[in-house]
Chains A and B, each alone.
Chain A
Amino acid sequence: MLIYKFKYSLFIIFFFTCISFAGQKNTDTNDLKLLQQQVSQLQQQMKEENERHSTEIKMLREEIELLKQNQEAAAKKSGQQAAAIESNMPPTPIGAYTAGAQNKVSPLGSAYQGFNPDISAIGDFIFQGGQIPKGETPDSLNATNKSRAKLREVEFGFSNPVDPYGRTDLILSIEREDDGSYRPDIEEGYFTYTDLPYDLQARVGKFYSVFGKANLFHTHAMPWADRPLPIRTFFGDEGLNDGGVEISWLVPNPWDSYLELTQSVQNNGNEADFAGSNANGLMYVTHLKNFFELSNTYTAELGGSFATGTNGSGNSGNPKTNVEGLDFTYKWRPEKEGLYKSVTWMSELLFNQKDECGEGTVNSYGWYSSLEYQFARRWSVFGRCDYTQYPDSSRLQENSYSAGLTFRQSEFMFWRLQFEHTTGENYAGDVDRNQIFLQADFLIGQHPAHRY
């Protein structure tokens, strides 16, 4: 019986031991699989990490290589410059436009440069042939000079923001006088408040009055070699330009079109139509500009101007001059071919009322119309018709017809050939003259973009 019990116990022990061993083996197999999975995941992660590091190392190596190349180029360049100075030869620019470079411009350098204003210098060279009017006094109007070539003007421009409230533009010019000397002048110099509320903007300083279109052009920005006859007659060669203040407002309107109202108060120092340098009065100029974008290709601009101030026609009373102007500009510029084709048609009409001491008011008017057609990337032709009466005598009048060709060598230089025929009568008698202009303008530096 005891033996039977002992055998039975042995059997039970053996049975449970087998079961427990079998369970153990099962657990080990699962653990092993889990471990294998973990190892393989780790291997994958390590591989990915390695790849990432290799990529980063490769990128860093490329950057180091580029930096080395740049350093070498700079060293080579300074060496060349030193050698060039020794041999009085100009250095050759190298590495200025390195293909494939992925480095950044030194932020410190940019920061320093950021405080410098944009500076530009523009030369305006002109050759005048034919019968060139000698002077502006009534006696010398029809006297003629010999053909001459001259650097008519050099213009220096400086512009940059001054502070968070606005920016400054200074345009200094050196102009050639009739006697051959050069006279420095401040063509414009003003501060513009750019952060005024209610869509307002203000200027203070010396500037061209916003009257029509042609009065605003700087010499190098004109589409012709000279200003139109009525502008020269009513406002003089220097245009309507003086010290003062100006405020302009973008007028809200239901069509959401550009409608700008400008009002300026300036010294009335204009010699041609206002009081001139002896005056102590003011000139008020109002301008309303409407701009319509008819399509992406066509635009039209319609403007109205009014200027009023005392004039220098007498010592007694308060003789006034009023000038009203209408301007119209139409532009066509196809989008795809805009680099090669465009048309600009610009016209202005001016009415002038000038109180003459003891002679009542003289009413006179003038107009011009100009058409420019760009027929190739660098070439355009233009024609202009001018008519003007004289502000002191509507009996005297002149007509001129101009035609010309402009070659834009690059964005920064152009050549222009213009022929002008003028007839009529002025203070000195009958006028019948032909003139030819050959103009070359060249720009260096950073010049602010011109208005549309």
Chain B
Amino acid sequence: MNTFKFSRILLFCCILSILFIVDPCCCMASNKLNIVTTTTNLASIAEAVGGDHVSVTSIGSGDEDPHFIQAKPSFMMKAKKADLWICIGMELEIGYEGLILQGSRNPRIQINAPGHLDVSEGILKLEVPTGKIDRSMGDVHPLGNPHYWLDPYNGRVIATNICRRLKQLDPAHAADYDRNLAAFLLKLDSAMFGEKLAGAIGGERLWQMQIGGRLDKFIEDNNQKVLQIDPNAKGKVLSFDGWLSKLKPFEHAQIVIYHRSWPYFFHRFNLEDVGELEPKPGIPPGPAHILEVINTMKSQNVKVILMEPFYNKLDADAVARKTGAKVVVVPNSVDNQVKDYIAMLDNVVTKLSDALK
């Protein structure tokens, strides 16, 4: 009997030791917070805010359509070890998030757990349906258009949300997260308004005035006052720089897009979307709709078609040939060519302003 008990204990010890041999990772705990994001934009912002205290992985590579990432079991393995899961929300990830979270068997990152962060809280939302919706309208999102990261103001909100959650999960480094957030916001605000303006006025005030539509008047009044006091103080007048100045000459320019990914970007820079190549969200273009788009573009003299690289360019090229418009293909996510969130927006601004010239 004793021999039987002894052999059972020995067998149990063998199994345990095999488990530890085959899983050396379980013995090597890292003191960095392990973050997994659904998109590369979120990974870029999380890296900027988390700094040296986090290790960030994105399941999306930035090259694919973020609506159609597939729930590969390898993503479940990444999520399994995550301390924090960050998603865009607004049902962008409805096709794969649930499967990955459940498959990860990680209780820390399940919905409503502290390790699950939907960064859409507090963002400026567009196109929130106000009546009954159904799929005759295409692949509409009941909570609103989810491409909100393309508004740099929402980029600030995302970074602030991530910082708040990092401080909650890792209070020992709260001061570092605050410092990183401030540096990220300054960089973003400088890219948006220009370094001089962001430094002189401060990002918060600039955004308040920009959202309220009073920024132009503020700059004008300020400069008048400066010149009244000292007509030779031209070096002291405030001026726009950055993305705002690049796109300011093209305010109210009319643009055709492939998919309704761009309304946030257009809203921020006062551009106008006059139509989409998709007849309805998620429905590929058909000949009748393409003809309609061509007629609209001709009648309204639209000169630019804006689209992402993961859509087929053939339809856009066909429309461009008939209308003389330029096709601007830009990624809406961080990828191999645009290395971070600010560079991604900068690339869109630069390519679009070049095309609109």
Binding site for B on A (CB under 8 A): 48, 51-52, 54-56, 58-59, 70, 73-74, 77, 93-105, 167, 192, 194-196, 199-201, 250-254, 256-258, 260, 289, 291, 293, 296, 299, 301, 333, 335-340, 377-378, 410-412, 444, 448-449, 451-452
Show 19 residue pairs from A and B whose CB-CB distance is below 8 angstroms, ordered by the A residue.
A51-B209, A55-B212, A93-B131, A96-B140, A97-B137, A98-B129, A101-B127, A101-B128, A250-B76, A250-B80, A250-B105, A257-B77, A258-B74, A258-B76, A336-B310, A339-B312, A410-B283, A448-B98, A451-B71
A258 touches B73 (CB 8 A): yes
Q: With A96-B131, A258-B73, A339-B311 as given contacts, are A55 and B105 in contact (CB-CB < 8 Å)? A: no
Complex Cα–Cα for A339 and B127 (A): 25
- Nearest CB in chain A to that of B106: its residue: A199
Closest to A250 in B: B105
Q: Which of the segments B59-67, B157-165, B237-245, B344-352 contacts the partner chain? A: B59-67
Q: Are A73 and B131 in contact (CB under 8 A)?
A: yes
Chain B residues, CB < 8 A from A196? 105
A252-B71 in contact (CB<8A):
no
In the complex, the answer to whether B63 meets A96 with C-beta atoms within 8 Å is: no
Our count of residue pairs bridging A and B at CB distance below 8 angstroms stands at 168
Select the stretch in B17-25, B46-54, B176-184, B287-295 that faces chain A.
B17-25
* Interfacial chain A residues near B22, Cβ < 8 Å: 251-254
Given contacts A105-B143, A299-B72, A452-B71, contact A258 B127 (CB under 8 A): no
Q: Check A335–B74 contact: CB distance below 8 A.
A: no
A253: B residues at CB distance < 8 A: 22-23
Closest Cβ of chain A to B117, distance in Å, is: 18
A340 to B102 Cα, complex, angstroms:
28
- Chain B residues closer than 8 Å to A52, beta-carbon distance: 208
How distant is B331 from chain A, measured CB to nearest CB, in Å?
10
Knowing A93-B132, A96-B129, A449-B96, the reply to whether A338 touches B137 (Cβ < 8 A) is no
Provide the main secondary structure of the chain B interface. Answer: loop
Residues in chain B near residue A70, CB distance under 8 A:
130
Contacting residues, chain B, for A452 (C-beta < 8 A):
70-73, 99
Query: CA separation between A77 and B132, bound complex, in Å?
Result: 10
Q: Does B139 contact A (CB under 8 A)?
A: yes
Q: Distance in Å from the Cβ of A128 to the closest Cβ of chain B? A: 29
Question: In the bound complex, what is the Cα–Cα distance between A335 and B267 (angstroms)?
Answer: 29
Q: Which residues of A contact B284 (CB under 8 A)?
A: 377-378
Q: How far is the CA of A452 from the CA of B73 in the complex (A)?
A: 7
CB-CB contacts below 8 Å: B284-312 with A: 284, 309-312
Say yes or no: B263 contacts A99, CB within 8 Å.
Answer: yes
**A99: nearest residue on chain B (CB-CB)?**
B127
A293 touches B105 (CB 8 A): no
> Which residues of A are found within 8 Å of B26, using beta-carbon distances?
252
Q: Are A199 and B64 in contact (CB under 8 A)?
A: no
B107 A54 Cβ-Cβ under 8 A: no
Q: Which residues of B contact A97 (CB under 8 A)?
A: 127, 129, 133, 137, 140
Provide the bound-state CA to CA distance between A359 and B99, in Å.
Answer: 47
